[in-house]
Structure 1
Amino acid sequence: MLERIQKITSIGLFADTKPSAFPFRKLSLIYADNGRGKSTLAALLKSCGDNQPQLLLNRRTIGSTTPQYAELLFSQGNRSAFTAGQWSAQYHGTHVYDLNFVESSVYSGGEINATHRKRLLSFALGEKAVSAMKAFSDATDAAAEKTRSRKAAEDKLTPHRGKATPAAYMRMKKIAGAAGRNCHH
């Protein structure tokens, strides 16, 4: 369990912060006005828990030349330090429920328009379910686009094929030297 954040340097708004006086409990809630660093703290905890250094590398303090550093103290004296763009240890017991969690774990269909009403009735929770729903949605969109493309191609052939079906028209062979509309048989 995370007990304390010992130090944060050059990460987001935390240019050089030592918040070690504030211990964490089994459930800790953080509340502050917008722009005070809540998302940065969430990224810090997620970065350590999931070993995703890029979450912090993307949050370098603007204008800082000091290397990024963070030190977290966990139960039983375990520590993890973020230095040189890597975590010294990963701890899976930290869960962060923020906007990124919602976006990666909850799928509710996205856009609101007539063609998406059916999708809006879908609801999936969890990263695997969200990935599956997104893959299904992408495949459905791709299939609809292929159907539109096929229909457009068939519509272009209609004036040339007469009463022949598209499949029959495609099987016709070109007559050498023939010109005009009826040059296939």
Structure 2
Amino acid sequence: MRLRRLGGEVLLKLQSLVEVGRFSALKHKAPRFTRLSLIYARNGHGKSTVCALLRAASVRDAAAVLARKRLASRNAPGAKFEWADGTAEFDGRQWSTCPGALHVFDQDYVERNVHVAGSVTRDNKRQLLQVIVGQRGVELAQNIAQLDVDVRTASTRLSELERLIKASQPVVTSVEAYFSYEIPVDIEEQIASHSRAVIRDFRALNEYTRANHHGGASRPDQDALRAQCRRVVSILGRY
């Protein structure tokens, strides 16, 4: 954790942290901080909580403090920091004052201002590693990453729908062409016309079959009959 306060004033004491993070009641018993001070502890012992509270104090953000209320606590969280030019205190609802512009260089700062591609994809294999610096750039990069996820999800859904359409309509070979077809205004007339032609050819085939026993009947064109049947099936399947 590294702190920087504009104007030169320094943080003197973490006077108290109450019911926040892992602290039930923390009192500052060490000497006052100087311009260069070190806070150290093992992982999970509250360093990030201190950073978050200092950042919240700098912008009078009450929600950030309330979000870190200690688990199972029935009391409101509180914090009190002593600066060289005054005290900033959170009373469970709001901050008493703003200590001024304060920069906290911690993991949260990195996550807000530096975007590093977290997964190994074909694109970042080509580019080695994508790094974007700046809060606005990070926001845009996160939006792009979410759009990539949305595109992949939509593509998967589209492929599934194409599979279902082709399974239910075997005559469809191209879904894109299928949806580009416009239904002719005379579709009913076309179907009726080809249906009549099929019926006519079937009747001719029946006449040929009956007359063939007595000889002399002319054989209908079976290829033309099959073509007519396929034409009617194609029209019905297309629309």
Measured against the shorter chain, the TM-score band is 0.7 to 0.9
Asked if residue 23 in structure 1 is aligned to residue 55 in structure 2, the reply is no
Asked if residue 97 in structure 1 is aligned to residue 108 in structure 2, the reply is no
- Which consecutive aligned stretches of 4+ in structure 1 deviate over 6 angstroms post-superposition? none
The amino acid of 2:117's aligned partner reads: G
- Residues of 1 paired with 2:123 and 2:156: CA distance? 14
Q: Any residues of structure 2 matched to 1:1-185 within 5 Å, and which?
A: 1=9, 2-19=11-28, 21-76=30-85, 78-114=86-122, 117=125, 121-154=129-162, 156-157=164-165, 159-162=170-173, 166-167=176-177, 169-173=179-183, 175-176=187-188, 180-183=233-236, 184=238
Cα 1:133–1:173 shift into 2, 3 Å = same
* C-alpha displacement of 1:110: 1.5
- Residues of 2 paired with 1:165 and 1:13: CA distance? 59
Cα 1:171–1:44 shift into 2, 3 Å = same
Unaligned runs of 5+ in 1: none
- TM score, norm. by length of structure 2: 0.62
CA RMSD between the two structures: 3.2
Q: Deviations over 1:20-59 (max 9, x none)?
A: 6432333433211223221221121122123332332132
- Residues of 2 paired with 1:139 and 1:62: CA distance? 36
- Residues of 2 paired with 1:65 and 1:75: CA distance? 33
- Residues of 2 paired with 1:91 and 1:181: CA distance? 78
Larger relative helix fraction:
2
- Residues of 1 paired with 2:89 and 2:64: CA distance? 15
- TM score, norm. by length of structure 1: 0.76
- Residues of 2 paired with 1:144 and 1:50: CA distance? 39
Q: How many residues align?
A: 183
The amino acid of 2:115's aligned partner reads: Y
- Residues of 2 paired with 1:88 and 1:116: CA distance? 47
Cα 1:169–1:42 shift into 2, 3 Å = closer
The amino acid of 1:8's aligned partner reads: L
Cα 1:15–1:170 shift into 2, 3 Å = same
Q: Deviations over 1:108-138 (max 9, x none)?
A: 1122344764576321122111101111222
Unaligned runs of 5+ in 2: 1-8, 192-231
Identical positions, percent: 25
